[in-house]
Amino acid sequence: MSQFDSFRTGNFIFLDIGNTSVKGAHRAAGSWKPINTENVSNASQLVEWIREHEDAFDGIIVCSVRQDATQAILMALEDLPSLVLSTDQIPRANLDYNTIDTLGMDRYLACVAANTHSTRHKVVIDAGTACTIDLMTDDGIYRGGVIAPGYGAFSDILPEKAPALPRVKPNIPKTWPGKTTIDALKWGIPGFYEGGIISVLRKYENEIGHFDLFITGGDGPLIHKMTSEKGIYRPFLVFEGMATFIDYRD
């Protein structure tokens, strides 16, 4: 029996363990429900929430980029059956990537989810601590992508290195060039960041032609605005990919 069989039916908690945060969700009445975000702001509180509600769930399904955090969470929840999704479970025919052992599973799963919504080439921006911009072609093959600092990390560089400079909000001035220090910083921080993302998207378009754009992650709404809202914002894209991967993996 496949290791996935027992996780294809039932009510499960899905965990996306990232570089700096752990997000959880479950499916209810055909839609995704985030774990109570008002009372859950860290991994310890998430574990406590799951313990308080574990009778309502059949197990835990995990996508993670941090083995240490994964082990700690699963040890604390050892009474619940668990399934950890990893790159060694991906059919090699579905990957055009040279270092599979270092590929973040979340990058692949977000593309898997996007593939269920589009039959064309698709590019997926996952805007978290890191910002990844990945390609899955219309044949369902993951082709790799770009890993960049997330907007939060990028916007912290100047305040950390030059603390005399003021912090600015992530909006871009209407006039060019900046005539005040604030406007100059806005062109230099959110303006640079927007220009970098647009440049990557244009490079994809030059290489493969038209594609559908999907955006997810904590900074997804900001990136959606930066890309002139041409993309489709789906906050649960990685969770969608986890469910799809289990449903269709032998």
Q: Residue 45: pLDDT above 90?
A: no
Report the candidate in 59, 79, 76 with the shortest Cα–Cα distance to residue 9: 59
> What is 5-85's CATH superfamily?
ATPase, nucleotide binding domain (3.30.420.40)
Output the pLDDT for position 190.
Answer: 96
pLDDT of amino acid 250: 65
CATH superfamily of 87-151+187-248: ATPase, nucleotide binding domain (3.30.420.40)
Catalytic positions, written as ranges: 106
Quick check: do 5-85 and 87-151+187-248 share a fold? yes
CA–CA distance, 213 with 128 (Å, rounded to integer): 17
Average pLDDT, the chain: 93
Structure confidence at residue 42 as a pLDDT band (50, 70, 90): confident
pLDDT at 4: 84
Domain chopping of the chain, boundaries: 5-85, 87-151+187-248
Give residue 41's pLDDT band: very low, low, confident or very high (50, 70, 90): low
Dump strand ranges (E) for the chain: 12-17, 22-28, 31-34, 59-64, 82-85, 122-127, 130-136, 142-149, 212-216, 232-233
pTM of the predicted model, to two decimals? 0.94
For the cut 80, the answer to whether the pLDDT of residue 196 exceeds it is: yes
pLDDT at 238 over 80: yes
End-to-end CA distance of the chain: 9
